[in-house]
Amino acid sequence: MPADLRKVKLNTYDFDELLRIADKKHTKMEAAFEESSLRERPFRGTANEILLEVRSFFGELAPLRY
């Protein structure tokens, strides 16, 4: 378990400190999202082709799950 999660579980942080940490991480996440070159949605056709290739390579070892 990461140290920060352990501190949360042990009530080492006070509520305001947790809010500051969460806000800082949220800001970093938003910046990463804005700077990302990834599309909003994946190419479903390409993803399905890759899935079929992997399934045919592994055969029965890769059961289809939803």
> Counting beta carbons within 10 angstroms of the beta carbon of residue 60, is it exposed (0 to 12), middle (13 to 18) or buried (19 or more)?
exposed
Which two structure tokens, joined as six digits, stand for 66? 């939803």
What was the pLDDT predicted at 66? 56
Distance CA 48, CA 52 (A): 6
Q: Say what the pLDDT of residue 63 is.
A: 58
Name the helix (H) or strand (E) containing 44: helix 44-58
DSSP class of 41: S
- Write out the two tokens for 50: 């890759």
Summarize pLDDT for 1-57 with one digit per residue, the tens: 677 778 778 888 888 888 998 999 999 999 999 999 988 888 899 988 998 888 888
* Predicted pLDDT of residue 29: 95
